[in-house]
């Protein structure tokens, strides 16, 4: 354990074998697992647990009260998984009682400088939030999703697994798994082909997803009806089943496709 003498650590905090930099502040209800590193001037507060190997850089504010006018001091928490990199000035708020009480960040994520994760959000594993990405309350981000710099996501919206949201996008509706979205308000621009290849999906999987995408977004069939037919049309594809289920459970609605898509099918 390496604790800088200027760090302020409540004696009730639970610390494993960690490193804490100069002038960092760690509150009473904070739990840090082995291998956690806390940078200078970072502030960790509230009921917060941070998993093994996570690195929190300078001036980050982690575990603060939710930015919700209805919050009245109820006990809520933030749970952060293992091997995350949380860069400078990142802020992550705890949950609200109305939202279930917990904000969650999974494992192996990269949250770049100035990004924000609002109350009651759920961020999966292996995600990238580039500089100044802002997630409003109750947002859900699927595993492997990538959000470009300055992108903003509306309350209760969902970003599906291995989706890609372009820089500067304003996302007000759900972005389906495996897709790319861009713009204000964000629209779909085909499949996230590069991301899917990096995730190990082969040409056969991509071909099925392209066909399913065309049925959903490029045909004359209404999207909800097309989604209901997908498991029947592609019975052997777990990715298509995931896509159909995501659409079925959408409450905000699904981003619509652009009139022309340079990236679809490539």
Last residue of a domain, one of 138, 153, 168: 138
Q: What is the pTM of this model?
A: 0.95
For residues 7 and 95, membership in a common domain is answered with: yes
For the chain, which ranges sit under pLDDT 70? 260-266
For residues 221 and 116, membership in a common domain is answered with: no
Distance of CA 45 to the CA centre of its chain: 21
Note whether residue 34 is domain-resident.
Answer: yes
Residues known to be catalytic: 119-120, 137
Going from the C-alpha of 119 to that of each of 66, 153, 175, 201, the distances in angstroms are 5, 13, 20, 33
Contact by Cβ (8 Å): 85, 36: no
Contact by Cβ (8 Å): 176, 260: no
Containing domain of residue 61, as a range? 2-138
Give which of 90, 134, 91 is closest to 112, Cα–Cα.
90
For residues 95 and 28, membership in a common domain is answered with: yes
For every residue of 23-61, DSSP letters joined together read T-EE-TTEEE-TT-EE-TT-EE-SEEEE-TT-EE-TT-E
Classified as helix, coil or strand, 163 is coil
For residues 10 and 127, membership in a common domain is answered with: yes
For residues 58 and 133, membership in a common domain is answered with: yes
Contact by Cβ (8 Å): 151, 166: yes
Per-residue pLDDT at 259: 75
For residues 130 and 26, membership in a common domain is answered with: yes
Per-residue pLDDT at 1: 87
For residues 213 and 121, membership in a common domain is answered with: no
Residue 45 to residue 93: CA distance in whole angstroms: 10
For residues 6 and 72, membership in a common domain is answered with: yes
For residues 133 and 201, membership in a common domain is answered with: no
What's the total number of domains in the chain?
2
CB contact set of 232 (below 8 Å; sequence gap of 6+): none
Note whether residue 229 is domain-resident.
Answer: yes
Domain of residue 203, CATH code: 1.20.1180
Domain of residue 116, CATH code: 2.160.10.10
Give which of 63, 65, 67 is closest to 54, Cα–Cα.
63
Note whether residue 78 is domain-resident.
Answer: yes
Note whether residue 16 is domain-resident.
Answer: yes
Residue 56, phi then psi, degrees to nearest 5:
-115, 120
For residues 130 and 7, membership in a common domain is answered with: yes
Last residue of a domain, one of 88, 121, 138: 138
For residues 207 and 114, membership in a common domain is answered with: no
> And the tokens for 249?
């459970």
Per-residue pLDDT at 192: 98
For residues 106 and 204, membership in a common domain is answered with: no
Per-residue pLDDT at 265: 42
- The torsion of the CA quartet 136, 137, 138, 144, rounded to 10 degrees, works out to 40
Residue 3 to residue 266: CA distance in whole angstroms: 51
CB contact set of 260 (below 8 Å; sequence gap of 6+): none
Note whether residue 179 is domain-resident.
Answer: no
Note whether residue 104 is domain-resident.
Answer: yes
Note whether residue 223 is domain-resident.
Answer: yes
Burial class (CB in 10 A: 0-12, 13-18, 19+), 111: buried
Distance of CA 91 to the CA centre of its chain: 13
Residue 199 to residue 216: CA distance in whole angstroms: 23
Q: What is the 3-state secondary structure (H, E, C) of 99-154?
A: CCCEEEECCCCEECCCCEECCCCEECCCCEECCCCEECCCCEECCCCEECCCCEEC
Residue 216, phi then psi, degrees to nearest 5:
-75, -45
Note whether residue 148 is domain-resident.
Answer: no
């Amino acid at each position: 354990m390496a604790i800088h003498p200027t760090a302020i650590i409540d004696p009730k905090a639970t610390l494993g074998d960690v490193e804490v930099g100069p002038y960092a502040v760690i509150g009473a209800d904070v739990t840090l697992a082995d291998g956690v590193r806390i940078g200078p001037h970072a502030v960790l507060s509230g009921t917060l647990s941070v998993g093994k190997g996570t690195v929190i850089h300078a001036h980050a504010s982690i575990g603060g009260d939710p930015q919700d006018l209805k919050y009245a001091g109820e006990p809520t928490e933030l749970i952060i998984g293992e091997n995350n990199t949380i860069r400078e000035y990142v802020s992550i708020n705890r949950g609200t009682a109305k939202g279930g009480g917990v904000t969650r960040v999974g494992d192996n994520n990269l949250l770049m400088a100035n990004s924000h994760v609002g109350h009651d959000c759920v961020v999966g594993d292996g995600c990238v939030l580039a500089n100044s990405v802002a997630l409003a309350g109750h947002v859900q981000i699927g595993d492997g999703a990538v959000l470009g710099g300055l992108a903003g996501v509306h309350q209760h919206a969902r970003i599906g697994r291995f989706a890609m949201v372009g820089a500067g996008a304003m996302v007000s509706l759900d972005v389906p798994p495996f897709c790319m979205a861009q713009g204000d308000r964000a629209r779909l621009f085909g499949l996230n082909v590069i991301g899917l290849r990096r995730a190990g999906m082969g040409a056969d999987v991509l071909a099925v997803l392209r066909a399913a995408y065309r049925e959903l977004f490029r045909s004359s069939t209404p999207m909800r009806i097309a989604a209901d037919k997908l498991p029947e049309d592609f019975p052997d594809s777990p990715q298509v089943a995931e896509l159909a289920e995501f659409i079925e459970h959408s409450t905000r609605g699904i981003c619509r496709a652009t009139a022309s898509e340079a990236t679809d099918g490539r």
